[in-house]
């Protein structure tokens, strides 16, 4: 079992930079949690506090109910997989995977069994006698994971493990990590700046900005019900379109030189905002062709199964629509489109209006 409780964690570095503010979360046994956010938002710092590689400035960290805030990294029973793999170049793959157990002076027979079992899980059995330099980036990443698996830690920590791989290998390795998680049923914390990795891997996502947790929830919750404009804009690709200064009147949303009709349900949601300005959010994939909204097309990008149409709406407000299938608009065309699902945010707090 491995449950983690992160209670009001703060991190203030020696130079007085506060990297993490009041991080609060209960991680359930066997959960794969992905910390996501732009560079510098405090993801790695949080992970490193959990690992014991950074001191915790304030708050408490509990593993299975036991306070480990002050416990040294080596006694925390956690294994960390780094972005640069940190393999020993002069050792074979076998020796790399066995290293931490050898260091602990475990019985060589036990070590042998554990290394072979981990190699089997990771498809590395035929690579054990090679040196890291003879392996591809993806294989080296798997060796790094293998080194963690042999230790059978309570918690696996991943710090941007795929960022050195090319796009194709990233996808493949992501699916391997998912299978590994299913197989080991281990508690995992995973840091990435890539929202696709977060959506595809996580049981729950923690989205951070500037040291603050913005929202914790399942991938669908963050995608479908983002709590604020930051999460709404960070999760989803291409990002959500935002329109400031939209006013709710006559059953319509008006502003930026265009107007959008509202459903009865949407009017009910906005009833306290009558006559006030709000921020409207529309995901590119929630826009469809053939509607009353006139888009002045600047760019048409065919992606195969989708087409991204870039342009302006109303008084030159930017818009990106992701249409199904192949469309052939040209720069200068006017395209009629309509909005499906809409998101509303308070203009002062940027919080979702529900
Ligand atoms: P992320 O992993 O989200 O990219 P980090 O946790 O690495 O972000 O960094 C969060 C903030 O803390 C950044 O402003 C970064 O510059 C700062 N920071 C990170 N490490 C240190 C350090 N050792 N000393 C001082 N500031 C640091």
351 CA from centroid of ligand 1 (Å): 26
341 CA from centroid of ligand 1 (Å): 37
> Closest Cα to atom 5, ligand 1: which residue?
42
> Closest Cα to atom 16, ligand 1: which residue?
40
Is 44 touching ligand 1 by the criterion CB < 6 Å? yes
At 140 the three-state DSSP class reads helix
* Chain segment 243-269, per-residue pLDDT in tens: 999 999 888 999 999 999 999 999 999
36 CA from centroid of ligand 1 (Å): 14
Task: Please tell me the pTM assigned to this model.
Answer: 0.94
Q: Is-contact 291 338, C-beta < 8 A?
A: yes
Buried b (16+ CB within 10 A) or exposed e, 267-288: eebbeebeeebbbbbbbbbbbe
Q: Is-contact 285 331, C-beta < 8 A?
A: no
Strand partners, 1: none
Q: Lowest mean pLDDT: which of 78-87, 138-147, 151-160, 237-246?
A: 78-87
Strand partners, 217: 205
Pull the structure tokens for residue 270. Answer: 């906005």
Q: Is-contact 37 208, C-beta < 8 A?
A: yes
d(CA 313, CA 258): 7
Is 50 touching ligand 1 by the criterion CB < 6 Å? no
* Chain segment 16-65, per-residue pLDDT in tens: 999 999 999 999 999 999 999 999 999 999 999 999 999 999 999 999 99
Is 39 touching ligand 1 by the criterion CB < 6 Å? yes
Is 331 touching ligand 1 by the criterion CB < 6 Å? no
Is 17 touching ligand 1 by the criterion CB < 6 Å? yes
d(CA 63, CA 48): 15
């Amino acid at each position: 079992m491995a449950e983690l409780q992160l209670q009001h964690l703060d991190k203030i570095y020696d130079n007085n930079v506060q990297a993490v503010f009041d991080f609060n979360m209960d991680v359930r046994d066997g959960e794969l949690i992905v910390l996501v956010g732009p560079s510098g938002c405090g993801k790695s710092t949080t992970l490193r506090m959990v690992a014991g590689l950074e001191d915790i400035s304030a708050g408490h960290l509990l593993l299975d109910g036991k306070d480990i805030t002050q416990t040294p990294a080596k006694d925390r029973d956690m294994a960390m997989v780094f972005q640069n793999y940190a393999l020993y170049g002069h050792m074979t793959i076998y020796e790399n995977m066995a290293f931490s157990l050898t260091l602990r002076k475990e019985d060589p027979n036990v070590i042998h069994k554990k290394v072979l079992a981990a190699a089997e899980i990771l498809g590395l059995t035929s690579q054990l006698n090679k040196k890291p330099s003879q392996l591809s980036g993806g294989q080296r990443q798997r060796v790094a994971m293998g080194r963690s698996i042999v230790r059978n830690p309570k918690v696996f920590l991943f710090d941007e493990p795929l960022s050195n791989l090319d796009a194709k290998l990233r996808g493949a390795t992501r699916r391997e990590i998912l299978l590994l998680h299913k197989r080991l049923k281990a508690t995992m914390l995973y840091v990435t700046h890539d929202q696709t990795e977060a959506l595809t891997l996580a049981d729950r996502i923690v989205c951070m900005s500037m040291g603050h947790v913005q929202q914790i929830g399942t991938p669908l919750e963050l995608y479908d019900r983002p709590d604020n404009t930051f999460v709404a804009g960070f999760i989803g690709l291409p990002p959500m379109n935002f329109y400031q200064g939209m006013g709710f009147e006559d059953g319509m949303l008006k502003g930026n030189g265009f107007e959008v009709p509202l459903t009865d349900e949407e009017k009910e949601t906005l009833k306290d905002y009558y006559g006030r300005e709000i921020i409207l959010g529309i995901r590119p994939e929630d826009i469809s062709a053939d509607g009353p909204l006139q888009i002045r097309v600047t760019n048409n990008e065919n992606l195969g199964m989708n087409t991204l149409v870039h342009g302006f709406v109303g008084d030159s407000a930017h818009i990106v629509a992701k249409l199904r299938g192949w469309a052939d608009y040209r720069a200068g065309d006017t395209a009629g489109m309509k909005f499906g699902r809409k998101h509303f945010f308070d203009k002062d707090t940027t919080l979702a209006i529900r």
